[in-house]
A and B are shown apart, each in its own frame.
Chain A
Amino acid sequence: MNRFLSSPWTKVAVFLLSLVPLGVLLWLGYQASASDDPTQYVTANPVEYITHYTGDWTIRFICFTLCITPLRMLLNRPQITRFRRMLGLFAFFYGCLHFTVWVVLDPRQNTISAIWEDIVKRRYITVGMLALLAMLPLAITSTAGWVRRLGFKRWKQLHRLIYLTAIAAVIHYWWLVKSDIRLPLMYAAIVTVLLGYRLIVWMRERRRKTAVRTSQPTVSAN
């Protein structure tokens, strides 16, 4: 298991797997453009389909990224952390695709002012933009060089912005559906569990620390 997790090939495999959703989308687009009945590939509304498709994969990769730390702790396999940066960058990548498709293809005038109006006026877009923008500094500082420059502690604090992204992404999804909230609810549950786990770990840690601190005087009194 450890050898599998530390192998450079596993990283290559995860990279290629992460590209599969994009590959499938390109394949669907190609099939649709060549078919008499494109609806069976990209539905009758390809713009909406591609927008939702890229959005779905963004929130999934956000969840995958958030899975790394709990998995590492529960399985006690520090090697798992090797995949975190890549998954996070794929979340950002699909997020950027999602944003680009929305900017270019959404039925709206393609002027800066119309796009800006949508961002500030439509709260689900505002919060979606927030989710994406919060990932930007994380993508930039994802290199080893930046960890060194910032110092690990500060770098780690900065990268907690992903929690904000996850929460904002769920709200974005929740606010944009019409009435059937089952899917956003599912993601809300997943994110709650993933962030809740961290909260519990953090609280335990704090209790342990205070316990150590309060027990110290007794130790020294001995």
Chain B
Amino acid sequence: MLIRKPADLHYSDVTPREVYLNRRRFIGAGAATLGALALPSSALATAKINGLVQTGPYHNLGNEKPSPKATVTSYNNYYEFGTGKEDPSQNAPKWKVPAEWPIRIEGEVMQPKTLSLDQVMKLAPAEERIYRLRCVERWSVVVPWIGFSLSTLLKQVQPTGKAKYVAFETYFDPKAMLSPREAGIPFPYVEGLRLDEAMHPLTLLSFGMYGETLPNQDGAPVRIVVPWKYGYKSIKSITRIRFVEKQPPTDWGIYSDREYGFYSNVNPEVDHPRWSQKEEQRLGSGFLGQGTRMATVKFNGYGAQVASLYSGMDLAKFH
């Protein structure tokens, strides 16, 4: 296995996408103007990530081909930036990610810690992980995330014996985002995992995709990705991580626990109350070049890695 030393990479000094795009921008002045207009504004906010590790045990477990980038960056559930699928790609790029992005790690730990995003990104080499993402709404994509196992970050603190769960919280800026009343769900967005789920090597702390930093609509600057659970468990733009004793509330669970349970493992055997979960629409291929219907696989196909976490559990009850 290839072991590299952490990439000497700062979130603040990655090449701005605008700069490196300029190197290969169109020759004609007219074409350049047109090109700049045609570029989605979101593209300007992302930056290339250098020194990416594209090997490693979790690089591409399913041997999947990533979905087109346009699919993953134009179709998002990020209710803070609008409840329509296209809203976040329209609204989120206008939001400026604060230059300072402290991540607080607290709760049932010996010594709470606050790390800057730069510090976090230096903890381990940036790995590319090609994961399937299955939304509870029956669509799925394949995303080449960039990051490293969340456990790397969590190991920076020492949990007390009481810590059984990990709770996460999304950044909330009422001036730039929808109000909870408009969105219909509470903000700041909260999510949670059982400690062993959070420590599982597949659970990813991600700060990039498609070789670049995250576009705002995909959860910039840093988020969690839990590939065997429905998409809403993969919380975006996190600012706070708390070790807790009791099962923490989750945003969609507060809205409707019956529809969006705490575990929310991808499972074709357990229906959502309003639709069957047996099939999904894989976006980015097939119909109109945009989608293929396929059978949904238990744990989103990561059963070999994670099924043991739930041995003996009734997954219909703990859905």
Contacts and interface: CB of A to CB of B under 8 A. Distances in A.
Contacts of B137: 48, 178
A109 B279 contact: yes
Interface stretch (B20-28, B121-129, B179-187, B300-308): B179-187
A100 B86 CA distance: 25
A38 B276 CA distance: 27
B287 A43 contact: no
A45 B287 contact: no
A71 interface: no
B183 to A, nearest CB: 6
A123 B255 CA distance: 19
B98 interface: no
A179 interface: yes
B54 interface: no
Contacts of A108: 275-276, 278-279
User: Which of A42, A47, A118 has the most chain B CB atoms closer than 10 A to its own CB?
Assistant: A47
A45 B291 contact: yes
A114 interface: yes
A117 B74 CA distance: 33
B184 A109 contact: no
Contacts of B71: 39, 44
Give the secondary structure class of B's interface: mixed
Given A39-B75, A180-B83, A45 B281 contact: yes
A124 interface: yes
Contacts of B83: 178-180
B288 A38 contact: yes
Contacts of A193: none
A45 B74 CA distance: 10
Interface stretch (A29-37, A87-95, A208-216): A29-37
Interface in B267-315: 271, 274-276, 278-281, 283-284, 287-291, 293
Contact of A29 (B72, B288, B291): B288
Interface string A116-131: 0110011110000000
B137 to A, nearest CB: 8
A182 interface: yes
Interface in B58-72: 68, 70-72
B85 interface: yes
A82 to B, nearest CB: 37
B289 A33 contact: yes
B287 to A, nearest CB: 6
Contacts of A43: 74-75, 85-86
A37 B70 contact: yes
Nearest to B255: A179
Give the secondary structure class of A's interface: helix
A48 B282 CA distance: 12
Contacts of B70: 37, 39-40, 44
B164 interface: no
User: Which of A32, A117, A178, A182 has the most chain B CB atoms closer than 10 A to its own CB?
Assistant: A178
A176 interface: yes
A46 B287 contact: yes
A176 B274 contact: yes
B101 interface: no
A181 interface: yes
A201 to B, nearest CB: 35
Contacts of B255: 179
Contacts of A181: 184
Given A33-B288, A46-B290, A109 B278 contact: yes
B263 interface: no
Contact of A117 (B141, B276, B293): B276
B79 to A, nearest CB: 7
B171 interface: no
A178 B283 CA distance: 20
Interface in A31-66: 32-33, 37-40, 42-48
14 contacts: A29-B288, A32-B290, A33-B288, A39-B68, A40-B74, A44-B74, A45-B281, A48-B85, A108-B276, A108-B279, A114-B276, A118-B275, A180-B79, A182-B182
Given A38-B290, A45-B281, A48-B137, 13 more contacts: A29-B288, A32-B289, A38-B288, A43-B75, A44-B70, A45-B75, A45-B139, A46-B287, A107-B281, A108-B279, A179-B79, A180-B83, A180-B184
The 3 A-B pairs of least Cβ separation, nearest first, read A179-B184, A44-B75, A180-B83
